[in-house]
Structure formats: structure tokens, C-alpha cells
Amino acid sequence: MIQLPSLYHMAEAANWPAIKRDGLHSASTLLDLAGILGEKRERLEKHQRLTHTELPNGVQLRDQRPMPPVALATCLIGIVPSEWYTLINAHVFFWLDPARLNRQRAACNPRPQVVLTVDASKLVAAYAEKIAVTPINTGNARRRPARRGAATFVPYAAWVTSAWASEAASLGTPVRPSSHPPVELTVAGSIPDIMQFVVGVQQLAPGQLFTPVHS
């Protein structure tokens, strides 16, 4: 099995009690748990969220300002922006690079955050069938955005055997070298037992960046 580095998930500090109690959930699952239906559900799930949103149960969803639909329309292959938002909202996301996490952290200022460091090998062993990896930051479509589509989410098993070949075959884009590292690791739906895989928790005050702890 390919050895992945540690995984990092950054959450709103306001969501931390719910995460400890109920696990990590995709935005769509959080909408399910909050009982959001109808027009409000469609607006939050299938359209760009322009503002930070607090659900009736107190759980917070981040805005999606780096993904304007006009920009997405220029880089999507085979799907439309509403389908991309739905796809994004169906996954839990982890960074593999702390520097990328800190760029996201800067965008979330001044709200306090919490960063979970997760044992990648244990998470993959438990959730391999629901895991995909991506070669790009799927949540950003600004500044000459990379071409993307549903195949940008490469199933973990396919990535282990053929790297990024399935992405290129489906999207009609050049094949990335096998040395190109994943940018994100995603889990479809939910990880209710996430605390079993957490090896570190760091609370970030406003303005504070994440500092990984190396054993």
C-alpha cells in the first residue's frame, strides 16, 4: 500500500463539540441532520454559498467564495456548476500539505478554527471504498482554474494502481505524472468515528496558523 503522509482537517471551532460527539460529515449530510429541505436546501447545496452559514442546530457551513459559477463554467468538463457544488458538498475533505491548510486558514480569519491531524493509514484501511484523492484544490476556481469534472475525484484504489490515468481518460486532459502528489483526500458522506483516527488536535485562535507536530 502506498504510504500517505498525515492528513489534516480544519473545522470551525464552533463545530468542534459536534465533531467530537457525532463525527465528521459532508455539508450535504450536515444539511440532512439539520432538517434543511426545499428551496433553502437547494440554495445551500447546489449553488455557491456566498456567506458563512449557521444552520438551525448551530452547526456552521463555510462560504464558497473561491468557487464563483462564472469561473467554474470555464473549467468544468462534462458537468455544470450546480453539479460541481453538489459533488463538493458530498465529501469530507482533508489536506495533505499543511501549507495549503494555512492558506485556507487565512481565508477563514478571524473565526477560530480547530485542526485535526489524522492517521492516514488507519483511515484508509477503514474507509478505502469511500475515499478518493484529487490532484488539485477542488474548492478554488480562481486565477486560471485547472480543468476539472467528476473524474477529478479519483477513487483511492484506482489511484494506487494507475495514479491519475482515470482522470485523464475521463476528462480528456494530459496524464499527470505518477509523481504528482494528491492535494486532497476525500471521504464520501460521513466519518462518524473520526476520533478513532485523530492523533492530534490544535485549536487556532484568530490570526494563528497551524504548526504540524512531527514525532
Q: Could you tell me the mean pLDDT of each successive run of 10 residues in the chain, 215 residues long?
A: 84 97 98 97 98 96 97 98 98 97 94 97 97 98 95 97 97 96 98 98 96 78
Domain residue spans of the chain = 8-204
> What type of residue sits at position 50?
L
3-state secondary structure string across 124-163: HHHHHHHEEEECCCCCCCCCCCCCECHHHCEEHHHHHHHC
- Reported in sequence order, the residue ranges of the chain that DSSP labels E, i.e. its strands, are 7-12, 24-25, 53-54, 60-61, 91-95, 113-118, 131-134, 154-155, 184-188, 190-191, 198-204
> What type of residue sits at position 24?
L
Going from the C-alpha of 11 to that of each of 4, 62, 95, 135, the distances in angstroms are 21, 9, 12, 22
Going from the C-alpha of 48 to that of each of 60, 67, 148, the distances in angstroms are 15, 7, 17
N-term to C-term CA, the chain: 22
pLDDT of residue 143: 87
Do 44 and 31 form a contact (C-beta atoms < 8 A)?
yes
pLDDT of residue 1: 47
